[in-house]
Amino acid sequence: MTSINRIAKRHPAVLVLTHREDDVQGITELIAEQTEDFRCLVVRKTALDDIEQLAPKVILFALSDVKKSICLYNLLIKENRLVKNHYSVLLCSNRESGLAFKCCLKNLFDSYFVYQPLYEKFRLQLIVYEGLKQFTNTDSYIESLDKIVKDQNDELNSLIELGLSYKTAVVEEISKSKEEVNSINQDILSQMPDNIDKQLLSEINNTHIQPLLNALETSLSTKLLDLVNGLKQSQDLNSLLMKQLQQPIHTKCEDNSVVSSSDNAFLETPTNQQHSILLVEDNHIYREMISDVLSTVGYEIEQVDDGLAAIKKIKRTQYDLIVMDLFLPNLDGLNTTKHIRNVGKNIKTPVIALTGNKNKQLVKKWAEHGLDGYILKPSTKKEILAVVNKAIGP
């Protein structure tokens, strides 16, 4: 990296550290939506000097593995290169998420984010925002983030603002009531005799504490009732959401053809027979989500969480489709697919990849290894069904 490039932005608010810029392309694109005040730095021999000079407020460590990120962070701290307060975020692959969680649990890093695969983009932007707001005025950041989701329906935006106003009012009411309770308690304690009896306690409770609690309950109930009424006034919300979900979504497939979610041939519930699908995904949350989407329209789903378990399954059972994450423990998705194409009952079974990577060169590489299509993370229900139904066919 040239010296000119190293000092291009002397004090960026957000700094991404990586071994290769291509590895964090998706990350930098997300942060660019949020703020222009950021920098991506390739870690080389001058890294310690560069980081000290840049003095960022939020640092994202996205080295090739968690161990290297920990070592770099330890070195920065040991050599006193991070002289200003900062917010540290550890970026990791899904397989190292447990280790990243432990680092945050021990308070080495402030937060972590799984970016391989990348399928929770809003959470990353929220993490960066949480870091930035500790050091600077965040109004501009809120505006930039708000623009990202401005395509939401006006009615939904109004509903969010309505809920926020009631939440603020309830919090203020609780805080005010606590202050009143504390004040009353102080008055009571100052007047309380040394040998207090049960009758006096009962009178205090009936005269002071219970009326205050009743007033608080009434106030909170009123505000919550207002919130419910506001929700009822938005009685078309469900139909609105359904209408949005039914809008055509165009999905690009492996062969560069486009599948539209409005194409009933691809989106209708399977009726001729119950097709069987093997779902291979190590992230249990995403695995359950995909499974629910497919099982609710009639597909029979079997689940495994790594490549070796998938191989055991395909040796015994013939499936109509295999849906598989590319980043898997024990044996990754590409090597598992190679094995499928050479051994067992599923040599010709279509394989759909689950991935957060949109790189076209990688897509071509996957096709060469026998993959028949891909589903990007995150995806809507209709996008998932469009790709799966097309792969299985009539």
For 246-392, CATH gives: 3.40.50.2300
As a whole number of angstroms, the distance between CA 59 and CA 57 comes to 7
Highest mean pLDDT (candidates 70-79, 349-358, 385-394)? 70-79
Categorize the per-residue pLDDT at 88 as very low, low, confident or very high, splitting at 50, 70 and 90.
Answer: very high
Single out the residue of 52, 119, 125, 113 nearest to residue 86, CA to CA.
52
Confirm if 51 and 11 have CB atoms less than 8 A apart.
Answer: no
Please give the C-alpha separations between residue 31 and each of 10, 17, 25, 387, in angstroms, as whole numbers.
Answer: 18, 13, 10, 29
> Is the pTM of the predicted complex or chain greater than 0.95?
no
CATH topology of domain 3-148: Rossmann fold (3.40.50)
Q: Do domains 3-148 and 246-392 have the same CATH topology?
A: yes
For residue 114, count other CB atoms closer than 10 A to its CB: 22
**Lowest pLDDT segment from 164-168, 310-314, 335-339:** 164-168
Report, as an integer, the average pLDDT of 63-81: 92
pLDDT band (50, 70, 90) for residue 58: very high
Is pLDDT above 50 for 296?
yes
Q: Spell out the domain ranges in the chain.
A: 3-148, 154-237, 246-392
pLDDT digits (tens, 9 = 90+) for 252-289: 444 444 444 344 444 444 444 579 999 999 888 788 88
**What are the φ/ψ torsions at residue 304 (nearest 5 degrees)?**
-140, 160
**pLDDT value, residue 97:** 92
248 or 40, greater pLDDT: 40
